[in-house]
Structure 1
Amino acid sequence: MLSESSVGQSVGHVRSVRVDALASIGRIVEAAREALRRSSSATLNRIAEDAGVGIATLYRHFPNRESLAAAVMDRVWAEDVRPLLQEFGSSNASRDDLLSVAERVVGVFEAERGVVQALRNLPALVVDHLAQDASLRDTVARAQAVGNLRPDLESDDVPSLLAMVTTLPFILDAAPEERRRYLSLFLDGLNPARAVPLPARSAGEER
């Protein structure tokens, strides 16, 4: 039978291992984010080296490149996207507010292009994150109440619609003026009764 001191030492060891593992995961995710910002082709070996861990440690936590990229996107979402959604949730939920948050979310994905390219299921991840945002449903309802969104739109539609428009490669690759034009057109579909003239293209984009 183990003594109380032995049990205490065992528990302390487990906690220490967990803390060390969490620290390793944090370093790996941060190193991966920085490496993928520099190059979408950054290798796992290079990421492990930048994180100061062995490649075996990296694989123990992330069995493949996509699982690591998904963890990086989780961090990007928590640090850069969720604050935008919280800001939108405290706004008047106007068309301009929605256009602004959509543009800024696209801007985040553009800045994290290496991570985006490493993910095969980015739209699904975005839908999942948006669906978990408890404030989004209330914001949609508030926008509908004042006529900023069409009344037949269901709150469950919004995550898929926003994921669709903010993760399209065409949108990510577009110049700012062109991006704003197409996002604006998308928003008019959410409330055609309040459609506004589309933003003009810049001179270099005229076809």
Structure 2
Amino acid sequence: MWRATEMTAVDERGMTKYFEELEPPEGIKVELLRGEIVMMATPDLVHNRIVVDVQDQIPRKRWERLQTTDVDIIDEASEPIPDLVVLERGVAPDSGHLVPSQLVTLVVEVVSKTSVDRDYGIKRSIYAAGKIPAYLIIDPIVAHSVLLTDPIGEGDQADYRGQWITKFGDPVLLDLLGIELDTSEFGILTGVRRHRLP
């Protein structure tokens, strides 16, 4: 993992340009999070099954459900790649690899053993700064989901006002999508140290 610290605006633009030209090895996911390039290995099967389960529950006729799509966060040196991006059908650009954050209704991140701090920390702030209405963290380490809504603030001070924690097995009410998400078949990651977040 490379780190870029104490960057000026020019440095951040340079890092964004470098990031856009970066060609990672196959199977490696690469994100730009506030000027820091983060590389991750292919996720666990538990992770992938949860993402597919969530995607399958979101009505395709009304919503576009995109995996491995970069989100362009306004006024940020960030291009996160959520596990799932949900937006109204027909609003996304016809081509390209970036979806502007103002078009996104919901982002979903499934926590892995190496992403706990990022998913609960910097990504919470980045998605709120991008004014994404809802951020759903699904955590197979501690078997709960955290729905964050009502983004406020700017930059690294941005956050979500609303927070609802739901145990696996109980439905998650996604009002913005008009659905109740069934979590009863979400798998659990075993052999991973538990944490106390959020």
Same fold by TM (over 0.5)? no
For normalisation by structure 2, the TM-score amounts to 0.29
Structure in which a larger fraction of residues adopt strand: 2
For normalisation by structure 1, the TM-score amounts to 0.28
Structure in which a larger fraction of residues adopt helix: 1
